[in-house]
Structure 1
Amino acid sequence: MTIFYPVPERLNGTQARFIQIVNTVCALSNQGVNIKLISGKIPGFNQTDVLKSFSITPNDTLEFVFLPIIRKSRFLSVSISAIFYLALAIYLYRYKGSGVIIVRHPKLAGFLLTFKGLFKMPIVFEAHEIFHLSTEKASVKTALKRLEKKIYTKSDALITISDKLRDDIDSIFGLTGKACHTVPDAVRDDFFLSETVVAKRTFLFYSGSLYKWKGIDLLIEAMRYLPDETLVIAGGGGRLDELKQLVKHLGLSERVTFTGHLPHNKITELLKDAKLSFIPNIQSEISKYTSPLKMFEYMAAGVPIVAANLPGISEVLQHGQNALLFTPGDVEGLVRQTKTLLNDMALAAELAKNAKEFARSYTYEKRAERIIDFIKRIFYNRNSITQNR
C-alpha cells in the first residue's frame, strides 16, 4: 500500500498540525506502508533535517518529497499556492493509480478533487473542524461552505478527529453512504514517563498555542485565586506579548512563567515536575471539535488534568474517572476543580493513573493501525461496511 500525503506548507515549525502530520505518517510507515509526504521545499533542509527537528528516526518506507512553494513572508504579503499545486499535480500524475491520497487542507483537497481524473487515486479527507462555522464574514462563509460541500460530496472517504465533528458534518452536509471513520489525535511513546509522586511536583502547567479560544486568559485569571501556586505556560505565537501584559496587569508576574515554543523533549521534562495540567478552552466553533495533542500528552505523562467540558474533549476525558471537567469559560469552576485536586493528592494520583492507562490506546502506532484498517476495508474490500459509527 502506498499513501500520498500532500501538505501545502513547509514543515519547519512547531505547530500542532505539523507534529500530528509528521508523527502520523512516521507511524504509518512503521506499519509497512509506503509513505510519500509531499510538502514545500525548505531551503537548506533535507529529509534527515526535518525528521531530526521532530525527533524522529528515519524509516525506509517514509519518503519526503519537497516541491517548490512560495509562502507569505516579510518580503511577500501573500502566499502563492499555484506553484505548489502545479508541481503536485505533475508529481501525482507520474504515480497515477498507484495508491491513496490523504489530505487535511481544504483548499488543496478541493484542487485535488477537481483534477482527480488525472491521478486515478481515491482521496481521503481528514477533517479537523468545520471551517465555514468559524467565520462571521458572509462572503467567506459562503465560499467555505461551498468548498466543504464539494469535499464531503466528492471525496472517497472521510476521517474525523472526533465523533462530534463527524455527526455535525453529517447533519450539515449529509454523509449517507460515505465511508467515514473517527480517528482521534495521538501521543508519542516517549511521553509515557516513569512514575513520579504527584505530591512532590512543583507547578501547574499548560502547553500549546495561545489563541483566544484556547482559554489561556481564563487560566491566567484563575491564578488570582490560587495564591500559593505557580503556572508555567509553554507556547508562543502572536499573543505572547499580550498575555504577558495581562499577567503584569493582574500582578502575577512572579507566579506565571512563559517559556515560548519548546521542542517536545523539553515539554516532557517539564511534565515530570507538573502537579496539574490544563485544557481551558472556551466555547467556540473551533474548540467544539478539538482533539488536542496536549490532552494525550498530559495523559501519557501521568499528570492530573483539569479540562473544559467540550464535546471533542469529553469523548476522551471522563469527569471523575481520568480528569476533572468544568463548564467552558467558568473561571470559578476552573478554580474549584483545581483546588479539589490540589487538596486531594490521592484523587489526583488516581485520575492520573487512569488517564495514563487510557492513553495507551491513543498512541500514534494505534492511530496508524486505525487508519490502515479503515483504508483496507474501504478500498481493498469493496463489500465492507462504509459508515463506521
Structure 2
Amino acid sequence: MKIAYVYPEKLPSKKARAISVVNTACELSKIVDTTLIYEKNGDNVLDFYGINCNLNLKPVSRKFIIRSNKIFNFNLKKEIKKYDYFYVRHLKTAEFLIKNGANVIFESHEIFQIKNKKIKEIENFVYKNAKGLVFINENLQKKAKKFFNFTIPSKIIRNGCGFKVDFIKKDFSKLNEIYYIGNFYKWKGVDFLIEAVKGLNITLKIVGDGERKNELLNKASKNVKFLGYKSQNEIVNILKNSKITVIPNIPTIDSEFSTPIKLYEYLMTSNVVLASDFPTIQEIIKDGENGFLFKAGDKKDFLKKLNYILSLPQKELETISRNAYKTGKRFTWKNRAKQIVKFIKEIDENNISSS
C-alpha cells in the first residue's frame, strides 16, 4: 500500500498542525510506503523537527508569478495515480483529489460551515464522497454526524506526542510558577490567563511567539515572563522541569472542537494540568484524577482551582502527576500512525470484498 499525506502549506513551519502532520507522516512511513507532499519552505523538513525516518518527501510548487492553490493542485494532479490513498486535513484539497478520482481519507478538525456558509457545498461533498473520515476527538465526531449524517466509515484517532521520556518525579514542595505553551490566538485564552494572574504571588511563564506578542506584553503584569519561541527539544526540557501547566481556551466555536497537542505534551512530561472544561478536554482530563478542570472563561473558577492545586499535599500532586504520565503514554505519534493504517486497511478490504 502506498499513502500520500498531502499538506498544501509551507514546510517546515512552527504551526502545531505542521508538527502533527510531519510526525504522523514519519511514523506512517515506518509501517507503509508513505510520501509527504507539501509546499517547500527552504529548510530540510525532518531536520527542522529533529526527527529521523524513511519518509519520502515531495515538495510541490505553489507559485508561478503568484502563489496559488490552483498551481499546487495542478502539480498535485500529476501524483494521483501513484498512490493508493491520500490522507488529507485540508477541505479544498480533499475535494480536488476526490473529484479527480483519488481515494481520500479526510481528517476533520472542525466543522467549517458553522463559521463560513460559503464552504457548505464543499464540506458536504467531502463528507459524502471521501473513503473514510478521521476525527481528532469524540465531540467533533458526534457533531459532524448530526450535521452531515454521513454513512462512510469513520474513526476517532487522536493527536499525539513524540517526547521520549520516562515518568519524572517532581518536587511539588515549592510551587511558584505556572506555564503556558502555545499560540497567541485569542481563543487560546492567553489574554484570559494574563489577566487572571495579575496580583498573584506566582509567575506565569509563556512559551511561544506570534503577531500579538507586543499587544500581550502591554497587557502583562510583572509576574508574566515571555520566553519566546522554542524548538521541540527546548520545549521538552522546559516541560521536564515545569510542574503546573495550563490550557486556558475560552468559549468559542474553535475551542469546542479543539484538543491541543500541548495537552498530550503536558501529560507526557508528568505535569499537573489545569485546563478549561470543554467536552473535548474532558475526554482526556478527569478532574482530580489526572489533572484539573475549571469553567472555561471563568476567572473566579480558574483562581479557585489554581489555589486548590497549590494547597494540595505533595503526595497528592505526585499521584496526579503519575496519572497524567500514564494518560499521556497512550497518545504517541506511533500509536496514531498504527490506528490510521489499520483504519485504511479495513476500508481497503471492505472495498475489495464489495467490488
**Band the TM-score falls in, shorter-chain normalisation:** over 0.9
Give the drift of 1:12: 2.0
1:274 match:
242
1:159 match:
134
AA matched with 1:302: S
3-state SS of the aligned residue for 1:277?
strand
CA contact (8 A) 2:87 2:107 kept: yes
2:216 match:
243
> Distance between the aligned counterparts of 1:228 and 1:37, measured in 2?
47
3-state SS of the aligned residue for 1:82?
helix
> Distance between the aligned counterparts of 2:131 and 2:284, measured in 1?
27
> Distance between the aligned counterparts of 2:286 and 2:25, measured in 1?
29
Task: Return closer, same or farther for 1:238/1:87 CA change in 2, 3 Å cut-off.
Answer: same
1:92 match:
80
Match of 1:350 among 319, 343, 349: 319
> Distance between the aligned counterparts of 2:332 and 2:280, measured in 1?
17
> Distance between the aligned counterparts of 1:290 and 1:349, measured in 2?
28
Tell me the alpha carbon deviations over residues 122-144 of structure 1, each in whole angstroms, 9 at most, x when there is no partner. 210000111122x3xxxxx2211
3-state SS of the aligned residue for 1:295?
helix
Match of 1:114 among 87, 92, 99: 99
Give the drift of 1:377: 1.2
2:268 match:
300
Give the drift of 1:352: 1.5
With 340-349 and 179-188 compared, the bigger mean Cα shift is at: 340-349
2:35 match:
36
* 2:48 corresponds to 1:53: yes
Match of 1:145 among 120, 127, 132: 120
* 2:336 corresponds to 1:367: yes
AA matched with 2:329: R
AA matched with 1:70: K
AA matched with 2:135: T
Please give the residue correspondences for 1:1-389 in structure 2 after superposition, counting only pairs within 5 Å: 1-30=1-30, 32-43=31-42, 45=43, 49-57=44-52, 59-60=53-54, 62-70=55-63, 79-93=67-81, 95=82, 98-116=83-101, 121-133=102-114, 135=115, 141-175=116-150, 177-192=151-166, 194-200=168-174, 203-225=177-199, 227-247=200-220, 252-253=221-222, 255-344=223-312, 345-382=314-351
3-state SS of the aligned residue for 1:187?
coil
Tell me the alpha carbon deviations over residues 68-107 of structure 1, each in whole angstroms, 9 at most, x when there is no partner. 1239xxxx9x8411111100101223x1xx4111100111
CA contact (8 A) 2:244 2:271 kept: yes
Task: Return closer, same or farther for 1:273/1:20 CA change in 2, 3 Å cut-off.
Answer: same
> Distance between the aligned counterparts of 1:85 and 1:317, measured in 2?
40
Give the drift of 1:190: 2.3
Q: TM-score, normalized by length of structure 2?
A: 0.94
AA matched with 2:69: S
3-state SS of the aligned residue for 2:37?
strand
> Distance between the aligned counterparts of 1:294 and 1:70, measured in 2?
33
Identity of matched residues, %: 30
Task: Return closer, same or farther for 1:332/1:122 CA change in 2, 3 Å cut-off.
Answer: same
Give the drift of 1:191: 5.0
CA contact (8 A) 1:202 1:273 kept: no
3-state SS of the aligned residue for 2:257?
coil
3-state SS of the aligned residue for 1:361?
coil
CA contact (8 A) 2:248 2:275 kept: yes
Aligned length: 352
> Distance between the aligned counterparts of 2:41 and 2:125, measured in 1?
31
Give the drift of 1:193: 5.6
Q: TM-score, normalized by length of structure 1?
A: 0.86
Give the drift of 1:189: 3.3
AA matched with 1:146: E
3-state SS of the aligned residue for 2:210?
coil
Give the drift of 1:200: 4.8
CA contact (8 A) 2:167 2:322 kept: no
Give the drift of 1:275: 2.2
Give the drift of 1:172: 0.8
- Aligned residues: CA RMSD: 1.8
> Distance between the aligned counterparts of 2:311 and 2:243, measured in 1?
12
CA contact (8 A) 1:104 1:126 kept: yes
